[in-house]
Structure formats: structure tokens, C-alpha cells
Amino acid sequence: MSLAKSSSSSLGIFALLALSVLNCAALAASPRQAGGKRSSAQVLFDDFSYADRAALKKRGWIVRTVPGWPGVPGATWREEGVSFHPGPGPRGDRILRMTSSTRGEGANTSQTQICHQRKYLEGTYAARVRFTDAPVAGTDGDQVVQSFYTISPLKAPWDLDYSELDFEYLPNGGWGIEGPTLYGTTWETFSPEPNWKKDNVFDTVRASQDGWHTLVTQVAGGKVRYFVDGKMLAEHGGNYYPESLMSINFNLWFVRDGMVKAADVRTYQEDVDWVFHEAKAALTPDEVEARVADMRRRSVKFRDTVAAPSPALTSPCDF
């Protein structure tokens, strides 16, 4: 073999090796679905493995401090109500905890909320949440709301572009129903106070939900479906199907007319292990669990590939 041919062959081999390395690197960097397949899916996943609120905010989350509805008039939306703790998952797992408390009046009530960017519409939403039936301190009985939901701003009363999809657990009942109740609610619109009226549709589970649950909301094909631990709670459609980009939210607040007559401080908690969204895909609860398990196996703590509109929408985190 001539020197020229030998050099040419060597260069070709090195080029093929370099290309192979680059391809492997590209595959490793690409998002993958469960089972190892490459995916171009737009996904949000957060394992809430944070040391503090500053780290949470760097991932696009807002911790609410703006006063206002819902809840007890005059209540404070307290940033310190958000904290992080060891979780129930694999070793090193952490959870986000919301803590809210009341002594019956707005000046003595703190509520908690976090919001992610407003860029979500059709697809699948899911979260692993721990609901609680009893306060960690104080007299039991307040009508408290523990939630996972998506929402857009209300531009005006009866705004028909308004969108809201709710999981809300009331361990002490409320809104005309006694006893522990989980609501799955889809909104067309509403008129705020002082002339409160609403246009929504909801279904309920009237039983204790104390403990950990996987909540899944499918938004696809003109239908909104709510699942709790793999079982469908509700299916809504028609005018109630969302139309506007929404933020992803969790909050913990008190019903203004549902407070017990007690002078002590009552403190409630809601925990969140992880949150997940895949845009433009109607995933089953089992498929969601597989996606999350796959990311956890690969030590993915956070991923956000969901495209935001340009310019980005404001996310006020005030409702």
C-alpha cells in the first residue's frame, strides 16, 4: 500500500470515529422518552430538589407575595411559606412544602402559592402531591383549599378567553359540600367580587384524600380529563375547554366564610414531590409515571423544553 493511500485511509477512519463520537454526544444530550427513544417533546419536569427558594426562582418559578383573592381578605401571601425537605422518593429525593396558617382574620392569616411561566395549553399535566386532613398545629375544622391547577389572567368580568383547570382538595368540606372533598373543576369564566358569579363545571370525590396522590390532567381533542391515581375523576368539554395560555400553580389557602371560631393559630401543609407537563400529548397516567421514572433513573432534576411565546407573557402570580 502506498503512503498516500495509507494516509487517506487513516484520515477516513479518524473522520468516522470523530463523527461517531459527535453522534453519541448528540444522542446523550437529546431528551428521551421512557424506553430510551429519542424525543423532540416539549416537556417540563421539576423534581423540586432545591436547597432554598432562590434556587427555585432560577427555574422560572414565582413565589407569590402579591395580596388579593382568593382566601381571607387581608391575608398575607408569605414567601417563607415555601420550604424544602427530604422526600418519599429515591435516596436524596426532596419535596417542596407549602405551609399556611390562620387565627381567623386577614391580619393573622398567611397563605402560600407558587406559579410557573404562562406558556402552557394543550397536553398533559401531572403532579405528585400530599394532601393533609388535619392541621399540624391548632384546632381542626377550617375550610382550607389544597390545590394543583393551571390558570390564565382574567382580563375583565366574564372574559371568554379565560382558562382555568383545577384539582382542589378541601379536607373539611366547603362550597356547599360537607366532609372531605376533592374537586376537579374546569372554568369558562367568572365575574369577581363584589358581584361574584361563575361559569364552571366540576365533579367530586367525597372521601378523605389524606396522603400522597398522583394527579393527571389531559387537555386534548376538545376534552379535559382529570385522573387521581390512575382513575378518572372527571371529563369536561364544550365551552369549558381552555383557550388561553396558562401558568402552572400550586396554592394553599383558607375559605373566607369557613373558619372555625377558635383563638389559636391553625397551621396546614401541602407537599409536592414533582410536577410534569408534556405539550400536545394526551398521556395516560401510566405513561406519565414511566416518563417521570425514566428521568429519575437518569438523575434529571429539572428539564424545561416547553416553547414560550415571543415576546414572553407576563405571569403575575396573583390569583
Report the 3 state secondary structure along 75-116: CEECHHHEEEEECCCCCCCEEEEEEEEECCCHHHEEEEEEEC
- What is the chain's mean pLDDT, rounded? 89
Percent above pLDDT 90 for the chain: 82
Domain extent, residue 252, equals: 41-304
Q: DSSP letter for 38, please.
A: B
Evaluate whether 96 touches 114 at the Cβ level (below 8 Å): yes
* Residue 130 located in a structural domain: yes
Measured CA distances, 24 to 19, 39, 224 (Å): 9, 15, 39
- Give the number of residues written for the chain: 319
Predicted local confidence at residue 14, as pLDDT? 37
Average pLDDT rounded to a whole number, residues 268-281: 98
Predicted local confidence at residue 105, as pLDDT? 87
* Residue 7 located in a structural domain: no
Q: 21 in helix, strand or coil?
A: helix
Q: What gap in Å lies between CA 310 and CA 122, rounded to an integer?
A: 18
Question: What residues contact residue 75 under an 8 Å CB cut-off, 6+ apart?
Answer: 67, 102, 106, 109, 110, 111, 253, 254
* Residue 213 located in a structural domain: yes
pLDDT above 80: residue 91: no
Q: Sorting pLDDT into bands at 50, 70 and 90, what band is 39?
A: low
- DSSP E strands in 17-163: the ranges are 43-46, 62-63, 76-77, 82-86, 94-102, 109-115, 123-131, 144-151
> What are 42-66's pLDDT values in tens digits?
999 999 999 999 999 999 999 999 9
Average pLDDT rounded to a whole number, residues 207-234: 98
pLDDT above 60: residue 236: yes
Predicted local confidence at residue 40, as pLDDT? 77
* Residue 190 located in a structural domain: yes
Question: What residues contact residue 72 under an 8 Å CB cut-off, 6+ apart?
Answer: 102, 105, 106, 109, 111, 253, 254, 256, 259
Question: CATH number of the domain that 243 lies in?
Answer: 2.60.120.200
pLDDT above 50: residue 11: no
Number of domains in the chain: 1
Q: Sorting pLDDT into bands at 50, 70 and 90, what band is 115?
A: very high
Average pLDDT rounded to a whole number, residues 95-118: 96
> What are 133-186's pLDDT values in tens digits?
999 999 999 999 999 999 999 999 999 999 999 999 999 999 999 999 999 999
Average pLDDT rounded to a whole number, residues 300-316: 95
Predicted local confidence at residue 36, as pLDDT? 40
